């Protein structure tokens, strides 16, 4: 399904981009359903939703799949320390204003879910309902260490085979059943062709805040202070999670073999938000693509009930 490019600017004038999928089957006289805003993970981009977005658009909803700043067609930030969920959430507020959207359904994968939670502190009335894809108010140190280990490292490959091999090496634990064809498609979401080679479609400097947090944590520990924790998210996001879950439908999708949201974290989230719907995708790690039967059925049910 085709999309159009939607460009807007951040509050400081940085050009940003989203893929804009028009709703299908909606005539001019119909009351349009709320749009859906899809936000990807740390090193990913809007292409992650290239299969999900058309499915949602086919239900009669506009879909905006965002390239978070520093990724895809969105501009890179000259100040790498701006690469954090607070800045990203402010960019979503600017998107809502530019697109004329008062309220929407939010689907956040990994970092996209953190951005959605932070948005509750900036513009809670804009969130009608939300999907958290393999992310929550606490994150397993195992998954965090894995993600921090590759973010901002290798970024260019001379051959397509090398690019696909990299994509597989980094993500095979999450998708152990993928075929060669699926890894090829996966890599096409991650890489851009440039100057005769293949480069990851994100600014390597998105790792700067992660590295700074890790260095500060190590220094604190060396000086006898508390051990450093999550470099990818604020230390305590449960207040934001509870705010997101309050008075609105919420869905948690978890990869059955995820190393970022382990079963204990999922249980604590479900205890903190008893009405939250839950779906688990067997045999998939961090993070489901959301077109898996278990994930899509849960999302379809949420959208069916949403305005």
For residue 301, the SS3 value is helix
Q: How far is the C-alpha of 267 from the C-alpha of 262, rounded, in Å? A: 9
pLDDT of res. 285: 98
Kindly list the domain boundaries of the chain, sorted by start residue: 4-138+235-305
Q: How far is the C-alpha of 82 from the C-alpha of 88, rounded, in Å? A: 9
Structure pTM? 0.94
> Over its length of 307 residues, how does the chain's per-residue pLDDT go in tens digits?
699 999 999 999 999 999 999 999 876 656 689 999 999 999 999 999 999 999 999 999 999 999 999 999 999 999 999 999 999 999 999 999 999 999 999 999 999 999 999 999 999 999 999 999 999 999 999 999 999 888 887 789 999 999 999 999 999 999 999 999 999 999 999 999 999 999 999 999 999 988 887 766 666 556 665 544 444 555 689 999 999 999 999 999 999 999 999 999 999 999 999 999 999 999 999 999 999 999 999 999 999 999 9
pLDDT of res. 228: 44
Angle between helices 238-245 and 111-122 (to 10 degrees): 70
pLDDT of res. 26: 73
Tokens, residue 36: 């859906």
Integer-rounded Cα radius of gyration of the chain: 19
* Cis omega (within 30 of 0) for bond into 287: yes
pLDDT of res. 27: 65
Q: Bridge partners of 281?
A: 255
DSSP 105-157: EEEEETHHHHHHHHHHHH-GGGEEEEEEES--SS--HHHHHHHHHHTTS--EE
Q: What is the CATH number of domain 4-138+235-305?
A: 3.40.50.1820
pLDDT of res. 229: 42
């Amino acid at each position: 399904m085709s999309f159009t490019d939607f460009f807007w600017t951040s509050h400081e004038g940085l050009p940003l981009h989203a893929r804009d999928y028009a709703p299908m089957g909606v005539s001019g006289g119909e009351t349009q359903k709320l749009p859906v805003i899809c936000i990807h993970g740390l090193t990913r981009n809007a292409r992650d939703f290239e299969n999900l977005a058309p499915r949602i658009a086919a239900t009669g909803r506009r879909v905006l799949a965002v390239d978070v700043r520093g990724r895809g067609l969105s501009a890179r930030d000259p100040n790498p320390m701006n690469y954090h969920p607070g800045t990203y959430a402010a960019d979503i507020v600017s998107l809502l204003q530019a697109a004329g959207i008062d309220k929407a359904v939010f689907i956040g994968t990994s970092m996209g879910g953190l951005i959605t939670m932070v948005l509750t502190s900036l513009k809670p009335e804009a969130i009608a309902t939300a999907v958290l894809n393999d992310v929550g108010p606490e994150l397993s140190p195992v998954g965090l260490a894995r993600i921090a280990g590759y973010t901002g490292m290798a970024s260019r490959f001379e051959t397509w085979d090398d690019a696909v091999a990299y994509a597989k090496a980094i993500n095979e634990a999450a998708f152990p059943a993928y075929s060669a064809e699926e890894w090829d498609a996966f890599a096409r979401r991650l890489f851009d062709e440039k100057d005769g080679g293949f480069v990851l479609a994100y600014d390597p400097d998105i790792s700067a805040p992660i590295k700074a947090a890790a260095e500060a944590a190590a220094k604190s520990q060396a000086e006898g202070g508390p051990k450093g924790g999550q470099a990818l998210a604020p230390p305590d996001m449960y207040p934001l999670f509870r705010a997101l879950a309050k008075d609105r439908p919420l869905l948690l999708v978890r990869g059955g073999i995820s190393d970022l949201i382990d079963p204990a974290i999922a249980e604590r989230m479900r205890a903190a938000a008893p009405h939250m719907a839950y779906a688990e995708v067997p045999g998939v790690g961090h993070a489901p693509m959301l077109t898996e039967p278990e994930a899509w059925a849960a999302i379809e049910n949420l959208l069916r009930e949403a305005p």
